[in-house]
Amino acid sequence: MTRDFTLEKYSELVQVLKQNYTIMSVADYISSPKKEEFIAVLRHDVDKFPERATRMALLEKNLGIHSTYYFRWDPKLPGHADSSKAEMGNFPKQAIIETKLYGHEVGYHYENLSELRDKTKALADFETKLAILRKLAPVSTVAMHGAPRVRVRNADMLEGVDLSKYDLLGEPHLSPEFANIAYITDSGRMWSSGAGSVRDTMGKPLDEKVKNTDALIEIVKARKYPRLMVSARPGGEAMSFELNLANLLLPAIPIL
């Protein structure tokens, strides 16, 4: 039996999703007419290991689907210094450019409020970093980082804010289009929904507990939920190297 939370098992899940649902990115779900009876929104919060995100993005490209990748700002990366202070940091450029070229949506996985604890300062920092990310890829949606170790919900920073001010279509934790979507995430190497997540909650939780990816695959086959969002993180040991990628790899794409 295949180990769970590997690219190989994720490939099985995606192929079953493709057979039973129309797969959309977050931006497409907000902006496109929803004539299809069964729609699955596929989203990835790149908390760590951006190089593994590109492997997942390449896998999805070869499976013929498009999804959304939300990238965090990494303060340890070189490449950007604010003019008023020597604060280094950047987004993972290579991973973002490759993900964009594979045809996926790129978004900002923001955590400004949990870092600065002041909404005014956080919004200014959000705007600055969003502009930096847009130098690498178009950005039309953002999604909060759950920040489970602090008692701050990053989405509160944008609560009541007109997102069009930042030229954004929406934020899945706040936008009304996602109020009734069934949501499940693989946080902590386990599928959780609703109460199973500390702050990463949105839409409607699934009615049942999902003990592994095989169980989620059976739910997808049953098409119990006409509108479904699946959030799968390409990081840590959750996405190991079990899958033989020899027939999936493309030539390395240099940063232009």
DSSP string, 193-219: -GGGSSS---SEE-SS---SHHHHHHH
Confidence (pLDDT) at 74: 94
Domain annotation covers residue 19: yes
Domain annotation covers residue 102: yes
CATH number for the domain that contains residue 204? 3.20.20
Task: Look up tokens 């450019």; give the residue.
Answer: 97
Reported in sequence order, the residue ranges of 82-141 that DSSP labels E, i.e. its strands, are: 105-110
Confidence (pLDDT) at 188: 72
**Domain containing residue 126:** 7-29+37-172+190-230
Q: What is the pLDDT of residues 59-118, one digit of tens each?
A: 999 999 999 999 999 998 877 655 455 467 999 999 999 999 999 999 999 999 999 999
Q: What is the pTM of this model?
A: 0.89
- Ranges of residues in the chain with a pLDDT under 50 are 83, 86, 196, 198, 236-256
Domain annotation covers residue 1: no
Distance of CA 220 to CAs 72, 182, 227, Å?
Answer: 29, 12, 11
Distance of CA 61 to CAs 9, 90, 120, Å?
Answer: 16, 26, 39
Confidence (pLDDT) at 256: 41
6, 107, 29, 25: which is closest to 65 by C-alpha?
Answer: 25
Domain annotation covers residue 241: no
Q: What is the pLDDT of residues 181-196, one digit of tens each?
A: 999 999 777 898 865 4
Confidence (pLDDT) at 2: 61
103, 138, 99, 145: which is closest to 122 by C-alpha?
Answer: 145
Domain annotation covers residue 132: yes
Domain annotation covers residue 135: yes
- How many domains is the chain built from? 1
Domain annotation covers residue 237: no
Domain annotation covers residue 248: no
Confidence (pLDDT) at 175: 97
